[in-house]
Amino acid sequence: MAEWRIDGAGWLQCDGPSFRRVVSPNFDGRPEGMPVELLVIHNISLPPDQFGGPGVEQLFTNRLDPGEHPYYAQIHDAKVSAHFFIRRDGSLIQFVSCLDRAWHAGLSQWQGRERCNDFSIGIELEGGDSQPFDDVQYAVLNRLSAALHAAYPLRATLGHSDIAPGRKTDPGPCFDWSRVGAS
């Protein structure tokens, strides 16, 4: 199994057909000298609770068709992204360089610091609050997390709900935190 690593430009380097890079326009620069210290775990599925379609990739690249699904009409103008997206089948997409600020956390706070996008990396898991995640998603998350820990001075891995309590619920009650960091 080939090593996964983050290169000097903030992009994951790994081989295999289950990894793709799709560049999102929804990012900007981190504040000067801001270290990456936090991993934020999210869940997402588009349409909600439906898996495998192109909706998330379309949302993160501003190509979501508002006529394709009633829910899309509500969110198609959102300018959001995450650094990584792990699908139910374990395939992985990177949308934003880890050196840049993805727009995943919104109004957020950690240890008295606001604007968690400034110092975090966002990882979206294809899923929702009502279904367990697949074994392969945990395996990919742990390989990715190891590569990120090797590249950056990460101090914590938290859920979106931890940094935006009352506003967000993800990764949700079905996310098994005991499996994070497991090999």
| Beta strand spans in the chain (E) | 5-6, 12-13, 19-21, 27-29, 38-44, 84-86, 92-94, 100-102, 109-110, 113-114, 120-126, 156-159
Domain boundaries, the chain: 22-179
Report long-range pairs for 61-69 (Cβ below 8 Å, ≥24 apart). Answer: 61/22, 61/23, 61/24, 61/25, 61/95, 62/25, 62/26
Q: Check if the beta carbon of residue 36 is closer than 8 Å to that of residue 117.
A: no
Residue with tokens 């914590």: 156
Task: Quote the pLDDT of residue 96.
Answer: 98
Active site residues: 124
Across 73-88, b (16+ Cβ under 10 Å) vs e yields: eeebeeebbbbbbbbb
pLDDT tens, 45-83? 999 999 999 999 999 999 999 999 999 999 999 999 999
Q: Which fold has domain 22-179?
A: Lysozyme-like (3.40.80)
Q: Is the pLDDT of residue 182 over 80?
A: no
Q: Partners of 166 in the beta sheet? A: none
Q: Partners of 5 in the beta sheet? A: 13
CA dist 55 to 104, 125, 145, Å?
Answer: 16, 13, 25
pLDDT tens, 80-118? 999 999 999 999 999 999 999 999 999 999 999 999 999
Confidence of residue 3 (pLDDT cuts 50, 70, 90): confident
Closest to 146 measured CA to CA, from 12, 2, 1, 4: 4
Task: Quote the pLDDT of residue 1.
Answer: 54
Q: Is the pLDDT of residue 139 over 70?
A: yes
